[in-house]
Chains A and B, each alone.
Chain A
């Protein structure tokens, strides 16, 4: 038989965060802790299906009038409208002026990809693959791949994390924006920056917006943690809404994976804010064509759950409560971990653990220390030193704190 056409296909490296979980699963040590992948866990270390989601799923299951027909290409209308309303606010001027659009997408990733594909085809000229795309250093590692696979040739980083002071490098960020070619695209984390957990303050966002406006830079927000970060939907959407109020046209990729706990149903939304309805209509018509060749139309189950919840005042209130439960537990784990490290006298400063926000914390552990944590202590975290606070429980806090103490004191 002739040699295979795929004989030369190289083995690709596994996606790091999933490999971490795979290794964790295989580990037989009873003390093991998984601080890797970004999914919420209860204090028992279990996944948590939100009570309101269970309720709504039962409603859907009992409703014999529902079927499995195709959704429209752009998705379930009630989902799209409600999802964008959540991001932009009930009183958003953009919504009132009918200059917003929404594309139901396969999770936050799908929303990013549709937005990226659209920008490559229609932004800054036609099919301009040379438009620079700026991604924060560091960022979610998949951001880079999304824009590369969408066809962009010039992907750059902008200063973000200051490792020395363990905080935002605002000056570096603003400098990068000043130097960026006009019309460059900037990927901004709406809140709960992944992986650093470090967000600009409102004043800092104002400075960022001012530079972006002056230099004609395009804001593409990634909003994966609205509600989950602070417990308040409005607070977590402040940056996006500020940019809208400043007259920007922008994209916002929303994920409902974390704040609804609907990880595997792939519920996301790309919100488009434009100058007027006519522009938005044309943009959506072209996004429809992109969707049609990527997945044709989106999955219905997750969108139904979210739409049903958001459009009922009572269910919305229950959801808000569930979200606050998750956010509060994370905040508790942050303060508990910090206080333990400080009591142990672990070298360094640990206030960043409570100052950071959202699911993740950039501990400051270096790769060698991370390796120690994994190999010797069976505590799994990303090589960057990123930990998922959700992996902490009242039962493992002591062990994790002691292990971090050991890693920092034994390994340099």
Chain B
């Protein structure tokens, strides 16, 4: 007999399941709107030109493969902090922060979660928006924390339930942890407006909550890196010492290279050194030190003026294509004769859109039209092209009229 006889089969990942089913489908019109990765207007993965240039530079330099420090590539972590905080940020200029390289967004979130579990003794509770990225819950749970929720998405309007959010947040016990999506909320695409962010900052400050920002789409949401980081920077300016997770998977198309960072804003540089030493103690028994390739590409791009400029243009290009697909989807739905209000499709931002479609309607889209998305009605707008947006609109109209 086996040691593992009692081990249950783990449930399949819901998003991967979508892609598996899509792959098996033989319909030539099939669309994969589950994938959380950018596609160009031909539906193909897009390797950024600035990334190719950075890679060519790396190849020509013939560098060694020595271990990185536990905290990662210093040029990368410094540039990452500057990108998030802004070069004029007092917190950045004073050095009262620590940024460590993480394994893309997930790895950075997990380091932060483990750090809070070990050193943030005031609370075990992490408050997530309802809904949030599916992986947030197991990450925090595996780190030993407990999950709570605050109202966020209003399914009736397909937009932000601001009063519900403010109400819930104002009642969160002091010194709990609250997670906020910095921009391009996943899965809903619903972000607070700047005036709303200001009110959120005030209530969070009043309740003395520890703010954990997850920023996986800086630049990718609006096309403007400063605009997308506005909330993060505003909170810090209000004296809220946040912790922050960043990912370069989407905005630099570095998905499989796992480039990310975790930052703690501290009182001063001395505290930052202490915090950094403890982060290293956490990282060492997880994977010792991080992978170089993605961080090096990102670092070269961020630190080389020409490449940085090119990157900003390319990330804007990706964001613009997404925005354009949203617009085209809505106009096509109108052309189909749909009487529903689809304004939320263009109001929402980022890679994902919460269409408002119900599970039965999603089921019909999959079975009758070979259009694949997750059961919650979320579509990845990145999977929409000018070639298939008409078909998508037609199908959505059929299942909703």
Contact = CB atoms under 8 A, between A and B. Distances in A.
Interface of A: 1-2, 4-15, 18, 37, 39, 46-47, 49, 53-54, 57-58, 61, 67-71, 73, 105-107, 109-110, 113, 122-124, 126, 142, 145-146, 148-149, 218, 249, 257, 261-266, 274-276, 279-283, 285-286, 288-290, 292-302
B285 A261 contact: no
Contacts of A105: 287
A6 B119 CA distance: 7
B175 A283 contact: no
B37 interface: yes
A363 B236 CA distance: 53
Given A39-B67, A49-B62, A280-B4, 13 more contacts: A15-B284, A58-B59, A68-B47, A68-B256, A146-B285, A149-B286, A218-B3, A275-B1, A279-B4, A289-B138, A290-B142, A294-B103, A299-B294
A302 B287 CA distance: 15
B382 to A, nearest CB: 12
A109 B286 contact: yes
A276 B266 contact: no
A263 B291 CA distance: 9
B288 interface: yes
24 contacts: A5-B122, A8-B119, A12-B278, A47-B64, A68-B253, A73-B16, A110-B287, A113-B286, A122-B7, A263-B65, A264-B68, A265-B291, A266-B288, A266-B289, A275-B2, A283-B7, A285-B10, A292-B138, A293-B141, A293-B143, A295-B107, A296-B103, A299-B103, A299-B291
Most buried by A among B8, B10, B289: B10
A261 B122 CA distance: 44
Nearest to B255: A70
B280 A15 contact: yes
Contacts of A123: 3
A4 B271 contact: yes
B66 A67 contact: no
Interface in B108-161: 110, 119-120, 122, 135, 138-139, 141-143
Interface residues of B, number: 77
B289 A142 contact: no
A49 B241 CA distance: 42
A249 B51 contact: no
B106 A294 contact: yes
Interface of B: 1-10, 13, 16, 37, 45, 47, 51, 55-56, 59, 62, 64-70, 103-107, 110, 119-120, 122, 135, 138-139, 141-143, 175, 208, 210, 239, 241, 249, 253-258, 264, 266-267, 271, 273-275, 277-278, 280-282, 284-294
Contacts of A106: 103, 286-288, 290-291
A283 B2 CA distance: 11
A368 to B, nearest CB: 28
Contacts of B277: 11-14
A292 B9 contact: no
A378 B199 CA distance: 60
B4 A283 contact: yes
B110 A294 contact: yes
B13 A292 contact: yes
Given A10-B274, A293-B106, A69 B56 contact: no
B5 A279 contact: yes
A142 B288 contact: yes
Contacts of B67: 37, 39, 257, 263-264
Nearest to B59: A61
A282 B9 contact: yes
A295 B106 contact: yes
Contacts of A71: 256
Q: Which 6 A-B pairs have the closest CB atoms?
A: A106-B287, A285-B10, A145-B285, A296-B106, A300-B256, A295-B103
Contact of A300 (B16, B70, B139, B257): B257
B274 A6 contact: yes
B2 A276 contact: yes
Contacts of B69: 18
B291 A266 contact: yes
A301 B255 CA distance: 11
Contacts of B289: 107, 264, 266
B274 A69 contact: no
Contact of A295 (B110, B138, B285): B110
Most buried by B among A2, A6, A9, A71: A6
